[in-house]
Structure 1
Amino acid sequence: MITNKQRPWPAPSSSWIIKQSWRDLLFLHYAVKPELLRPHIPVGLELDTYEQEAWISIVPFWMSGIRFRGTPSVPYLSQFPELNVRTYVKVGDKSGVYFFSLDAKSALGVYFGRRFYHLPYCYANMSLERQADGKIVYDSFRNEGSFIFKGSYRPISEVYRAEAGTLDYWLVERYCLYSESRNRIWMSEINHEPWELQDAAYEISDNTMLQLSGIDIAAAPHCAHYCSRIDVHVWPLKPVQA
């Protein structure tokens, strides 16, 4: 049964500028000691923790229907796979996500994300295949640094919404992203319905996405989630007040 139908974060008052759909998402969540992760977080962001643990997540998925406000989506440009490595931060009492890397099979998407959102996008050779039994086979290789992610995943439970106060809720229900450029912190609001999650089974054959210097990450994720689709509105980037 789906519960928690209240939108957990109100929509920002200004107008969104981008709409997109995120599809076939897998969240692989790894617990990390906060003292190991803090040196990798820009000054101006506070590392967010859950019961004294920090977290890093790998998120393979694909995007579709990308368009700017008032314009249609463009075939062949509005759909591509993406692979994110992120952690959890806050400014004051506003929790969000901070990205260590975002790989995408879209030169335009990489340019736009870097230029207008100050996000560490990189182009990668990527493929995603949905098999007849619902399994998603995902393959990503970035020449720069030989970052690789190969594996498969599928949902194995009924759909549910995370309950407030739980680790599941803390990990996924975040409605802004933070980035850093020229020693300044920036923030973009993101709005969508609460995540409709499923438990996930997965097999990872190769994964070098967590090669962060000085961070000891467990060999296996602590937990995993799947979401089939969520429609997202994205607001313009704005500077965070010092």
Structure 2
Amino acid sequence: MSFLRAEWRKLIMINYEVNPSVLKPYLPLGTDLDFFEGNCYVSVVGFMFLNTRLLGVKVPFHVNFEEVNLRFYVKKEKEGEIKRGVVFIKEIVPKAAITFVANTIYNENYQTLEMKHLWNLKKNKMNITYKWKINNEWNSIEVEALNNLEKIEKKSEIEFIAEHYWGYSKNNNKTTEYEVKHPKWEFYPVINHKIDVNFLETYNKDFLFLRNQKPTSVFLLEGSEVSVENKVKF
């Protein structure tokens, strides 16, 4: 049985090119940084968890909620197989129980904060917003997009950002690995975006430079049902 099943919907992905040296202290043992056309990325990602089930059970008041995370991209090679995955710098949710389970079992770096979202869906366009409150200050990411789903092209930047199917995290002198299963996603063309994030307060001084850096790209993906499989350590 999968550890977690849910729908991940309306994923905003804001992507920045960064110097690899920024990420090396966060790199789990046994993994290497993954690059797209020679560039290293971090992404701020906001989305909704819907119909969440933990070990097949819907936990009351923990079924539908927001998440915003900061992540980067890695790969792990073993016996000729390359697994492409993500490492999370921080994951923000509004539910303390989710934070406890993820940090305890998967060695992630979750934080519980007040959050809210707005989906304004119209026939031709949509506005998607995710907000979180830290130190009495609201932060937000927002996109305006055409309400027209398109397929992801192979070997494109959006495929690189969206199509990572493994999660890795540091676990003392070991690494936690888990698989994330979902079909190939489709995206909505983004026509405008707004970023209002205190990177120092939300993350730490290592990522303060993102405050003055323009993103390389901004995507909005529809998402799908997903499953998070049980962890292994190495």
How far off its partner does 1:119 sit?
Answer: 0.5
1:109-135 Cα shifts (integer Å, max 9, x gaps): 101110111100000111112236431
- 1:46 maps to 32
Specify the alignment match of 1:91 in structure 2: 76
- Specify which structure has the higher proportion of helix: 2
Contact 2:90–2:203, Cα closer than 8 Å, also in 1: no
Q: Which residue of 1 aligns with 2:65?
A: 80
1:187 to partner: Cα distance: 0.5
Q: Say what the alpha-carbon RMSD is for the aligned residues.
A: 2.2
CA distance in 2, matches of 1:181, 1:204: 32
SS in 2 for 1:153: strand
Q: Counterpart in 2 of 1:7?
A: none
Match of 1:224 among 186, 196, 218: 218
Matched, 1:206 2:197: yes
Q: Secondary structure at the match of 2:47?
A: strand
What is the distance in 1 between the residues matched to 2:38 and 2:50?
36
**2:49 aligned partner:** 63
Q: Which moved more, 1:122-131 or 1:35-44?
A: 35-44
**Residue of structure 2 equivalent to 1:120:** 109
Contact 1:162 1:197 in 2 (8 A): yes
Structure 1 residues 83 and 70, CA, compared in 2 at 3 Å: closer, same or farther? closer
Structure 1 residue runs without a partner (length 5+): 1-14
1:68 maps to amino acid: L
Give me the whole-angstrom Cα distance separating, in 1, the residues matched to 2:207 and 2:46. 24
1:197 aligned counterpart, secondary structure: strand
Change (3 A) 1:131 1:185: same
Question: C-alpha displacement at 1:78, in angstroms?
Answer: 1.1
Q: Deviations over 1:60-88 (max 9, x none)?
A: 112111113443x2442211111110000
Q: Report the TM-score, using the length of structure 2 for normalisation.
A: 0.86
Query: Which residue among 146, 149, 166 is the counterpart of 1:159?
Result: 149
Q: In the TM superposition, what is the alpha-carbon distance from 1:37 to its structure 2 partner?
A: 2.6
Q: Is the 8 A contact 1:21 1:229 kept in 2?
A: yes
Cα deviation, residue 147, structure 1: 8.3
Contact 1:123/1:142, CA 8 A, preserved across alignment: no
Aligned residue in 1 for 2:12: 26
More strand by share: 2
C-alpha displacement at 1:33, in angstroms? Answer: 1.8
Q: Residue 101 of structure 1 is aligned with which of 90, 103, 120?
A: 90
Deviations 1:20-75 (A, max 9, x none): 1112210001011223332332333211111221100000112111113443x244
Q: Provide the secondary structure at the position in 2 that maps to 1:202.
A: strand
The runs of 5 or more residues in structure 2 that have no matched partner are: none
Q: Distance in 2 between matches of 1:198 and 1:137?
A: 14
The 3 A distance-change label for structure 1 pair 153 and 207 is farther
SS in 2 for 1:16: coil
Aligned partner of 2:140 among 150, 155, 163: 150
Cα deviation, residue 205, structure 1: 2.9
Deviations 1:135-187 (A, max 9, x none): 123221234xx886323223226322222222211111011100111121110
Change over 3 Å in CA distance of 1:44–1:171 after alignment to 2: same
Distance 2:15 2:148 in 1: 20
DSSP-derived class of the 2:105 partner = helix
DSSP-derived class of the 2:170 partner: strand
* Letter of the 1:84 counterpart: N
